[in-house]
C-alpha cells in the first residue's frame, strides 16, 4: 500500500490507523527475522496509541501512515545508535527537525532501521549489529548506507521511510531494493538532529514505493529551519519558469555510460530512455568532463569532514567509555572498542589529508575539483532540464563480494557522488529487472531546488515500466 492509497482508505473509513500499524507489525514479525531491516521496533507504543485513538491529525498529509526512520536521525527518548557500538546505549534528547515535521503531519513511527556504521558504507555490511539482507535475494546486499530503510519499504514492513544521503546512501539502496529514493537539494531539508557524517554533503530524504509518495514526503520535511543555517526560505524552492506543457530536455552524459557499467543495467536504462523519447521527451547527448574525478574528490572531502565530526565521540561526553590510566588512554580505548574497521579507516584517511604538508596537496585540490564539477552541471543545465544516468553500475552484489576490497566497494557510488558534491537533487526510480530478478534503478538529476521536475519525469517512467 502506498501513502496515497492508505490516506484514501482512511478517509473512506475502509481502514484505520490500528489496521495499518498492525499490518506493518505483522510484516515485521514475519519477515524481519530473515531481513534484519530494523534495529528497534516501537511495538508496545504503537499498539497503545493505535488502540486508544486514530493517532493522527485529521486531514494531515501523513495521518496514521507507518514510517520507518534510519537510526542516525534523532527521535526524543529513543535510541540513536547510528549502527555503531559507540552509541549503542545513546538515547536522543530531542527530535530532529524532520521528525517534528512528520509528527505535525500525523505520521506514525514504526521503528529505527539498520545502517552502515555512521552511514559509512554501500552495503549495510558495516553495521555493528549485523547486516541487512536484500528482500529480493537474501544472499545479496540491500545497498547502503540506508539499507535498512530501503529493505523495510521493499518488504512491506512500513509504507515509507527516511534515510540520509552523503554520496548515494538513499539512491543506491533504493535501486538495489527496487524502490524510489530521493536525495533533495542540499539546503532543502534541515539536517538538525541528523548524526553528522560529512556536513557539506549530508542530506535527509525519503525512500518510498512510488514517486508520488516521495513527493508527498518531501513536501512535508522540506523548508527553512532556524536550527540549520544551510537551509533556504521556502519560496526559493518554488520555480515558475518550468512550463509543464513543454516536453523536458533530458541530457545523457557520455561519461556515465562507459567502462564498468553492467550490460543489463545499461540495457534497462537505455530502454527507459527510448520510452521517454517515444513519449515526446527530447534526448540530448551531453558531457560532464570532470566526472572522472568525482569519486576521488569525494573520498578526500568526505573523510576529512568525518575526522572532524567524529572527534566529539571521545568516550568522555557521551557514548561508549572505557577506563584507562589517563585521558589519552580513555580516548584510545573507547574509540578502539566503539568504532568499526571502516570508520577507523575513514578517520585516519581524513586526518591524513588535513595534516600539515598534505592539506593543499589533497584537500584543497579536491575542493577545487568540486567547484569544477559544479560548473559542469551549471553549464549542462543551460542546455537540458534533467540529466539521466544509471543509479548504480551493477545490480545488488553478493555479501562478501566487495567487503575485502574498499576501492571496489567505493566504486559502487561512482554515479551518485557527483550530485552530493554539486548539491543538486537526484531521484532513483526502478526501471527494470536483471535476468536474476534483481531490481535496476535509473537516476534523474535536476537543477538546484527543482525537485518537482524530477518527480514529473519519475512518474512518467513509472507509467512506462
Residues identified as active-site: 70, 145, 169
* Pick from 80, 100, 76, 61: nearest CA to 190: 100
What letter does residue 225 receive in the DSSP assignment?
B
What whole-number distance in Å separates Cα of residue 197 and Cα of residue 167? 11
What whole-number distance in Å separates Cα of residue 58 and Cα of residue 55? 9
Strands 386-390 and 439-446: antiparallel
* Pick from 128, 206, 127, 131: nearest CA to 164: 206
What whole-number distance in Å separates Cα of residue 269 and Cα of residue 263? 10
To the nearest 10°, report the CA torsion of 121, 125, 127, 129.
Answer: 170
The half-sphere exposure of 29 on its side-chain side, counting CA atoms within 13 A, is 8
Distances (CA, A) of 178 to 77, 136, 140, 275: 32, 9, 13, 19
The half-sphere exposure of 48 on its side-chain side, counting CA atoms within 13 A, is 4
Using DSSP's 3-state secondary structure scheme, residue 64 falls into: coil
DSSP conformation letters of 107-163: -EEEEEE--SGGG--SSSTT-TT----BTTBTTB---SSSHHHHHHHHTTSSSEEEE
Amino acid at each position: 500500500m502506498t501513502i496515497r492509497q492508505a490516506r484514501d482508505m482512511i478517509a473512506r473509513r475502509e481502514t484505520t490507523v490500528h489496521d495499518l500499524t498492525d499490518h506493518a507489525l505483522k510484516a515485521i514479525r514475519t519477515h524481519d527475522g530473515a531481513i534484519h531491516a530494523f534495529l528497534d521496533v516501537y511495538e508496545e507504543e504503537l499498539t497503545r496509541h493505535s488502540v486508544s485513538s486514530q493517532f493522527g491529525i485529521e486531514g494531515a498529509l501523513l495521518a496514521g501512515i507507518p514510517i520507518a526512520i534510519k537510526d542516525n536521525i534523532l527521535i526524543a527518548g529513543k535510541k540513536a545508535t547510528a549502527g555503531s557500538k559507540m552509541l549503542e546505549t545513546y538515547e536522543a534528547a530531542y527530535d530532529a527537525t524532520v521528525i517534528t515535521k512528520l509528527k505535525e503531519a500525523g505520521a506514525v513511527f514504526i521503528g529505527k532501521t539498520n545502517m552502515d556504521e555512521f552511514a559509512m558504507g554501500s552495503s549495510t555490511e558495516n553495521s555493528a549489529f549485523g547486516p541487512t539482507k536484500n528482500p529480493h535475494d537474501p544472499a545479496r546486499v540491500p545497498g547502503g548506507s540506508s539499507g535498512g530503510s530501503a529493505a523495510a519499504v521493499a518488504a512491506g514492513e512500513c509504507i515509507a521511510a527516511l534515510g540520509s544521503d552523503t554520496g548515494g546512501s538513499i539512491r543506491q539502496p533504493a535501486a538495489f531494493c527496487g524502490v524510489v529514493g530521493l536525495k533533495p537539494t542540499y539546503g532543502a531539508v534541515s539536517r538538525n538532529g541528523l548524526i553528522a557524517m560529512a556536513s557539506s554533503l549530508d542530506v535527509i530524504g525519503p525512500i518510498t514505493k512510488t514517486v508520488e509518495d516521495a513527493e508527498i514526503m518531501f513536501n512535508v520535511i522540506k523548508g527553512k529551519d532556524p536550527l540549520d543555517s544551510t537551509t533556504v526560505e521556502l519560496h526559493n524552492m518554488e520555480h515558475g519558469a518550468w512550463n509543464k506543457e513543454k516536453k523536458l530536455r533530458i541530457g545523457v552524459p557520455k561519461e556515465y555510460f562507459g567502462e564498468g557499467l553492467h550490460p543489463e543495467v545499461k540495457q534497462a536504462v537505455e530502454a527507459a530512455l527510448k520510452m521517454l523519447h517515444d513519449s515526446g521527451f527530447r534526448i540530448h547527448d551531453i558531457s560532464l568532463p570532470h566526472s572522472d574525478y568525482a569519486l576521488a574528490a569525494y573520498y578526500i572531502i568526505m573523510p576529512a569532514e568525518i575526522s572532524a565530526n567524529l572527534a566529539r565521540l571521545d568516550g568522555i561526553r557521551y557514548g561508549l567509555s572505557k577506563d584507562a590510566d589517563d585521558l589519552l588512554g580513555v580516548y584510545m580505548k573507547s574509540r578502539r572498542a566503539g568504532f568499526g574497521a571502516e570508520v577507523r579507516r575513514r578517520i585516519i584517511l581524513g586526518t591524513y589529508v588535513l595534516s600539515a604538508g598534505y592539506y593543499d596537496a589533497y584537500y584543497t585540490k579536491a575542493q577545487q575539483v568540486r567547484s569544477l564539477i559544479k560548473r559542469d552541471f551549471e553549464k549542462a543545465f543551460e542546455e537540458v532540464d534533467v540529466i539521466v544516468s544509471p543509479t548504480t553500475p551493477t545490480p545488488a552484489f553478493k555479501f562478501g563480494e566487495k567487503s575485502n576490497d574498499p576501492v571496489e566497494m567505493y566504486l559502487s557510488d561512482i554515479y551518485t557522488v557527483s550530485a552530493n558534491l554539486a548539491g543538486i537533487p537526484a531521484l532513483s526510480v526502478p526501471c527494470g529487472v536483471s535476468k536474476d530478478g534483481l531490481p535496476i534503478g535509473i537516476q534523474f538529476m535536476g537543477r538546484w531546488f527543482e525537485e518537482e521536475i524530477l518527480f514529473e519525469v519519475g512518474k512518467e517512467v513509472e507509467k512506462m515500466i
